[in-house]
Amino acid sequence: MTAAKVRSRIAALKELWCSYQDGHDQLTKTTTTTTQLELTYFKEDSFDVTEEIYHTTMDSMVEYLEELEPFTLHDKVNVAVSSLRNLKRKPEELWNDILAHIVAQRLDPTTRKAWNLKESDKEAPPSFDDLSNFIQSRVRALENFAPTSSVNKTASASKIHAATASATSPVKCPLCQAQHLLNVCPIFVGKNSSQRWDVVKQHKRCFNCLSEKHSAQACTSKYSCRACHKKHHSMLHADSTSSSAPSGATPSGISSPDCSSPHTLESRAEVTAMIASKVSRGRSQVLLATAWITVRVSSGRDAVVRALLDQGSEMTFISENLAQLLHAKRIRMPTSVTAVGGIHAGTFRHATQLSISPRKTLTPSFTTTALILGKLTAYTPKRQTDLSALSHLTDLSWADPDPTSPDPIQIIIGADLYSDLILDGIRKGDIGQPIAQNSVLGWVISGPLKSNATDAHSTTMHSAQSPLARISMHHAFCSPSLEEELRRFWEVEELPKQSILTPQEKQCEEHFRATHSRDSDGRYIVRLPFKKDPPIDIGTSRFRAEKMLNTSLHRFQNNSPLANEYKEFLSEYERLGHMRKATPQDEGGQHVYLPHHGVIRESSATTHLRVVFNASSLTSNGTSLNEHLHAGPKLQKEITAVLLRWRKHRYVYTADIAKMYRQIRLDPRDINYQRILWKPTLLAAIIVYILLTITYGMICAPFLALRVLEQLAQDEGHLFPLAVAILRDNIYIDDTLFGADNLTLLRRARDQLIALLKLGGFELKKWASNSPELLADIDPADHGLACSKQLAQDEQLKILGIGWNPASDVFEFRVSLANTIPASKRSILSTIAKFYDPLGWVTPVTIKAKIFMQNLWRETRNWDDNISANLLTRWNEIHSRLSHINRLRIPRWSGFGNDTSHAEVHGFADASNAAYAAVVYLKVVSSDGRVTITLLI
C-alpha cells in the first residue's frame, strides 16, 4: 500500500468516526422510547469498544505511514519554519500571529467573515489583542439578541495544520552515514530480519523504535510489531523478508511541499466547470499542471501555495482567501472574464500585483498583476496515485511533489507568465501516461493516468449513483470592463470644465521649467519628471523585455510582411538618430529595459504598423517605470472647442506634426531609463539600444510634447503672430486645424506656422484642405493620402464615428455595424458605448440609446443572457435606424465671414419624464440678406 492510499484511508477513517460520534450522541440524547438498560448499553459498552477499535486502527495506520514517509513531518516543519523566518518578525510577534490565526480559524463562519472584513484593509498582521477585543465587542452585541430557535446544524471545524519540532542535529544513518533514518536505509532494508537484529544490536539501538537514545526497556513509544504485537519493530519480525524501498517513497530530489506555509488555505471553488454526461467505464483521470510556489505581495508578506499553470488563461488569478491572508493591496481593475464555450464567468473589480518564485530557491522571481476571484477552480484529482512507479518521471525534481493531491489551488498562472516559466525539456512515457515539462518551478506533470480494474470499478459505481461527472475545463478570456467605455459615452457631450492643477501637476510643471533646454539646432531637451530623484526604487526589467522580444520574433516567423515592417520601423528609428546602440560608457547608473511589440492599424492609410514601447511593464519588484513618473497636467485641447473654432473659417487646412514625440530630445542623464532589446532573428545576438527621444508609451509623453509646443510659442511666437494663436488653440493631439476667410491670409498663416515649428525641430505632413489652390504649392509627397479626415479621440474602431470630407467640405458619420444584431445586455452596452458624437449632432439617436440603457439596467438579467422580447423589439428598432446616419451630412463652414452683416446664437432646451436636452444654432445674415442657419452643438 502506498503512502498516498494510507493518507486517504486515514482521512476517511477520521471522517467516518466523526459521523459515528455525532450519530451516537444524537441517538442517546433524543431517543425517548429506549429503556434505561438499553440506553446504558449504547452509551457505555458498545461505544467504548468501538472507540477502542478506532484508536487502535488509527495508531496502526499512522505508524505504517510514518514508516513509508519518515521525513514528511520533518520536511513540513522545515518549510513552515523557513516561511516564518522570511517574515523577519520577532519571536513574540510570531507567537502573536500564530495564536491569532488559530483562534480566528476556530470562530464560526459568520464571525470569522466579519473579522476578515474588519482586518482586510490593514497591511500589518492582526494582533491577538485586536482579535480578543473584537470577540468581546461581538459577544456584548449578540447578548442583546435572544435566540428564537435552536440550531441543529454544526459548523464544520476549520482545517488547521500544526507542527512542532525541536532543534536537533541532522539525523545520520549508522550504516551508510547518509542523512536519513535507519528504517529507510537501502542497506538496512535489503537485509533479512536476522541481519537487521544484528545491526540494531551492533549499533546499540532500541529494538522497538530503532532510536539510538534509549534501550527497548526505556522506550516510551506506544507502537509495537504489527505482526505479533510484541515490543519490537515490525522490520525485526522473524517473518519479515527483504523488500525494496516502499512504493510510496518520494522520488529523488523531491521534498514535501509546505502543505504548506504557516497558513493552510481552503479553496472556495471554480472559474468554470463544465458538466459532461455519459461517463464511460474506467474513464482515465487527467492531471493538470500544478506546482507549489512562493507568492509575495508588495507588503512583503508571502506564502507557499499550490498553483495551476493554465496556458488557456489570458491573465493570472488569485483566490480571495489568499489575497485576504496576505493583506494584498487591491487595484481597481474592472475586468470581464469569459470561460470555455463563451460562458460569462463574471465581472471582477479588483486585482493585485504579486511576484511568483519557486518554493525552494525564491529566484528567479516573476511579477504580474493577478485578478482576484472569490471562486477559483473546482479541479481536484479524483484519486491519489503513486507516480513514482513511472520510470520516465523518477529522476526529476517535481514542481508539485504530489500532483494527485487534493490540496486546493490558490493561484492560476495564466499565459501572461506561462512563457516566462517554461524551459526546454520534456519527458514522455507510454501512451496514456502523463508527461513532464521542465520549468523554472521544477518539472510540471500533466496528462492522463491509466485506470486499473479497481479504478474502473469505482468509476462505474460512481456513475450508477450519478449520471454526471465533473470535468474541470480552464480557459479565461479577459476583456476590459465596459465601465470605462460607458463613462466616456456619458461624458463625451459634457462641456469642458476648467481644471485646477493638483500639487503633483504643479510639481511637474515646475520641473519642466527648471530642467528643459534647447540644443544648437533649436530642438528641445527635456528630463523625465520622476516622483522622486533617481535612482528610483525599481526592479530588474531585462528578463521580461527579452521574453517579449522572443515572443514577437516567433510571431514574425509566420508573418513575413509584419517582420519586414517591424525591422524597417526600427531601422528608420536608428537612421533618424532617435535611438543608438548602447556603448560601454553607458553601463554606469540605473537601467530600465522597455518591452516592445507591434500594433497593426488596419484603418491607417499611412502607418500600418505602430511599435509600442511598454513603460507600464512590471519589473521584478512589482513596479513599472510609469509608476515612478508624473503624468503631468492635461494640456490637450477639447475637440469640441477646436472644431467650433475651425468651423468659423471659409477656407481651412489640416496637417499632422510628423513624429511629434520623436522631435523632442531626452536629457542624456535619463536615456538609460529607455533601453530596448532587438535582434533581427531568433538565433542572432541581442543588441541593446537606447531611445534618445520622448517615447510613445511613457505616461509623461503627452504632457512633455504639448508642453514643448507651448514653450515654443512662448519662446518664438512673437516672431510669428499669425502662427502663435494656432499653436496655442488649434492643435488637437498632433493635428493642426486652422483657417481664414481669404486664401492669401491663410497661406501667410500656414507659412508662419511651418517656420515657427521648424525652429523647434518640428515638421508638418499630411496636408489637406477644402481648396485645391491651397495645396498647389505644397509638395504632393506631403499631402494627406486619404480623401477624408477621421476625427476621433483614439485609435479604437468606433461603431459610430465622425469624419471630414475635404472635397465636399462636410462632416460625415461612419456607422460600422456587425452582421448579427447583439441581443444580450453585454453586447448591447458594448455597442452603445462605442458611439462617438462629441458635438451631439445625432443626439436624437444617442439619447434613445441612453434611455434604453436605463431600461436595460432595470431588467435583472445576467450579462450574457438574451434580453426580454419587449426590450429586444425596441433595440432592433434603434439598431435598424443606425445605418441611416451614414446619409447624414453637416456643413463644416458655419457661413460666418467678412461679408457677414450680423450673427445670432439661438439656444433651445426641453425636458420630459425620460430625458432633457439642449441645442444651439448659429444664424448668420450676410450683407446681401442671405440667411444661413447652422447646427453648432
345-397 pLDDT, tens digit per residue, is: 667 778 888 888 888 777 788 888 888 988 788 787 766 667 777 878 877 88
More confident residue, 907 or 228: 907
Question: What CA–CA distances, in Å, run from 673 to 518, 689, 693?
Answer: 21, 11, 11
Which one has a higher pLDDT value, 165 or 226?
226
Residue with cell 520622448: 694
pLDDT of residue 575: 95
**Cβ atoms < 10 Å from Cβ of 931:** 11
pLDDT value of position 342: 60
CA distances (Å), 383 to each of 5, 291, 411, in order? Answer: 9, 18, 21
- Closest by alpha carbon to 915, among 870, 859, 867, 852? 852
| Bond into 277 cis (ω within 30) | no
Percent of the chain having pLDDT more than 70? 70
How far is residue 324's CA from residue 213's CA, in Å, rounded to a whole number? 45
pLDDT greater at residue 281 or residue 869: 869
The CA distance from 314 to 416, in Å, is 6
Reported as a single tens digit per residue, the pLDDT across 390-405 is 878 877 888 888 888 8
Cα distances from 504 to residues 535, 637, 704, 891, in angstroms, run 19, 20, 15, 42
Residue 735 one-letter amino acid: D
- From the CB of residue 400, how many other CB atoms can be counted at a distance below 10 Å? 26
CA 264 to chain centroid = 23
Whether 231 has a pLDDT exceeding 70, the answer reads yes
In angstroms, the CA 634 to CA 705 distance is: 11
- pLDDT exceeds 60 at position 788: no
551-572, pLDDT tens digit by residue? Answer: 888 888 888 888 899 999 999 9
Q: Closest Cα to residue 799, out of 829, 836, 826?
A: 836
- C-alpha span between 411 and 396 (Å, rounded): 23
pLDDT digits (tens, 9 = 90+) for 457-478: 333 333 333 344 444 555 555 5
- State percent of the chain over pLDDT 90: 23
How confident is the model at residue 24, as a pLDDT? 62
- Domain 287-380+398-446: homologous superfamily in CATH: Acid Proteases (2.40.70.10)
Count, residues in the chain = 937
Q: Residue 488 above 70 pLDDT?
A: no
Q: Give the distance, in angstroms, between the CA of residue 693 and the centroid of all CA atoms in the same chain.
A: 31
pLDDT (0 to 100) of residue 690 = 96
pLDDT at position 73 over 90: no
**Res 859 pLDDT > 50:** yes
Please tell me which residue, 290 or 124, carries the higher pLDDT value. Answer: 290
* C-alpha to C-alpha distance for 433 and 284, rounded to whole angstroms: 10
Mean pLDDT of 419-444: 86
829: pLDDT confidence band, cut at 50, 70 and 90? confident
Give the pLDDT confidence score for residue 263 in this predicted structure.
39
C-alpha dist (Å) from residue 814 to 124, 850, 852: 55, 20, 22
Is the pLDDT confidence value at 146 over 50? Answer: no
pTM for this one?
Answer: 0.56
Contact 832, 853 (CB under 8 A): yes
Residue ranges of the domains in the chain? 3-65, 182-233, 287-380+398-446, 503-786, 790-935
Q: Which position has the grid cell 445670432? A: 904
- Per the DSSP assignment, residues forming a β-bridge with 336 are 347, 479
How many Å apart are CA 745 and CA 414, to the nearest integer?
60
Say how far apart CA 672 and CA 688 lie, in whole Å. 11
The one-letter amino acid at 610: R
| pLDDT greater than 50 at residue 280 | no
What angle is formed at CA 620 by the lines to CA 617 and CA 623, rounded to 5 degrees?
50
Confidence at residue 313, expressed as pLDDT on a 0 to 100 scale:
82
pLDDT band at 279 (very low <50, low <70, confident <90, very high): very low
- When the pLDDT of each residue in the chain is averaged and rounded to a whole number, the result is 76
CB atoms within 10 A of CB 538: 21
Question: What is the mean predicted confidence (pLDDT) over 833-862?
Answer: 78
Superfamily, domain 503-786? HIV Type 1 Reverse Transcriptase, subunit A, domain 1 (3.10.10.10)
Rounded Cα distance between 449 and 385, Å, is: 9
Residue 551 burial (CB count, 10 A): 14
